[in-house]
Amino acid sequence: MRGRVDVLYRNIGKPIFFKLDPEKAHHLVVGGLGRASGVVGADAVMRGMYGVSETPDLAVDLFGLHFPTPVGLAAGLDKNAQAVKGFSSIGFGFMEVGTVTPKGQPGNEQPRLFRLPPDEALINRMGFNNEGAEAMAKRLSALKERRIPVAVNIGKNKATPNEKANGDYEACIQALFPYGDFFVVNISSPNTPDLRSLQHGSELASLLEAVKNEMSRQAQIHGGDKAVLVKIAPDVSDAELEFMVDTISTSGVSGIIATNTTLSREGLTHGHAKETGGLSGKPLRERSTEIVSRIYKQTGGSLPIIGSGGIFTARDAYDKIRAGASLVEIYTALIYEGPEVNRKLHSGLRDLLARDGFNHISEAVGANHR
């Protein structure tokens, strides 16, 4: 049955989706999953088709949360938390929603999402298009149960100057603190002007201090501490990365997501390579793994890392884990491989752990450094 489901997507679903405009296909999938979740029994059907059974060797406890599998969905696909139940039913161990900004905004002009099939990559310049923090809070508050942890990825509005960016991140936390299981500070999208400048200099320390203070205030109001991670870009020098990691470590946040999309176009063959925006997919794999490794080495493994970028196979995920990632995320692989990818990743990771004599995934984290 599982093999037939995989063939169904590869031979029927994917060709249909890839004939559609990428953004229309995106909305069709997210909207469809969201609507399906309202149909009695639909989630059970999706779990039967694509769900991943929790196994003791791959379940992870981190940030005070339980992750049934180490593979999550990266931010950007479910920008408005429309399909949390749907994505929770197709084998993910956690997911990010967003990036969300305090006020809703349309994002950049279309077209703004491009497929590069020969490179198994995507380029997007969406520009944080979303309905705003209050709309997301309303959707998340309506969820009666959560099968997996949900992270809220927060950013600033395009019209907000960097010197006032702290207020936007604080506003997102104020609106969404009760509804996110943990939070991700996005300072690394290439599609909001000057956003990446917040990664450097005193701006980063100031922003993280403001975020931590606001998280503490909301914890006092609502009860319960929640983890905050920072998502960084791959397009940094060794010196910039070292400074960033040192600042993030000193700030007291809970971890790092490495990495966001890249501006690099090295090795691409498709004509869309000339499009501006952030590149995701296989071309990002090696660079993001290198960043994970450098962070782990610099921090001695003391700062948890979620590895993201170019993961298509269990080997790709395992490389990031051995480099230092405690959890991993996919996005582009879901588009190219379909929802069966989660079962393949889970099965392959179990095989790789057994091959190397590890009883639990935590034993493999950072193994390259030992």
Any binding-site annotation on 289? Answer: no
Strands (E), 155-259: 182-186, 228-232, 255-258
Any binding-site annotation on 13? Answer: no
DSSP class of residue 74 equals P
Whether omega before 247 lies within 30 degrees of 0, making that bond cis, reads: no
CA dihedral 41, 73, 351, 320 (to 10 degrees): -170
Any binding-site annotation on 269? Answer: no
Measured distance CA(250)–CA(227) in Å, rounded: 15
Any binding-site annotation on 128? Answer: yes
Any binding-site annotation on 194? Answer: no
Any binding-site annotation on 157? Answer: no
In this structure, which amino acid lies at residue 118? P
Q: Which is catalytic among the residues 88, 89, 188, 189?
A: 189
Any binding-site annotation on 127? Answer: yes
Any binding-site annotation on 77? Answer: yes
Measured distance CA(324)–CA(291) in Å, rounded: 10
Strands (E), the chain: 60-62, 65-67, 71-73, 94-100, 103-105, 113-116, 121-124, 130-132, 150-154, 182-186, 228-232, 255-258, 278-281, 305-308, 327-330
Phi, psi of 276 (to 5 degrees): -80, 155
Any binding-site annotation on 281? Answer: yes
Any binding-site annotation on 310? Answer: yes
Any binding-site annotation on 1? Answer: no
Q: Which of 103, 86, 251 is nearest to 185 (CA)?
A: 251
Could you write out the DSSP letters of every residue in 81-150?
Answer: SS-HHHHHTTT-SEEEEEEE-SEEE--SPSP-EEEEGGGTEEEE---S-EEEHHHHHHHHHT-S--SS-E
Tokens of 74: 């990266």
Any binding-site annotation on 76? Answer: yes
Any binding-site annotation on 332? Answer: yes
Any binding-site annotation on 259? Answer: yes
189 is catalytic: yes
Which three-class secondary structure state does DSSP give residue 40? coil
Which spans in 20-98 are helix H? Answer: 22-36, 42-50, 84-88
Any binding-site annotation on 78? Answer: yes
Any binding-site annotation on 99? Answer: yes
| Residues of the binding site for substrate | 79, 124-128, 186, 191, 260-261
| Residues of the binding site for FMN | 75-79, 99, 153, 186, 231, 259, 281, 310, 331-332
Give the catalytic positions in this structure.
189
| Residues of the binding site | 75-79, 99, 124-128, 153, 186, 191, 231, 259-261, 281, 310, 331-332
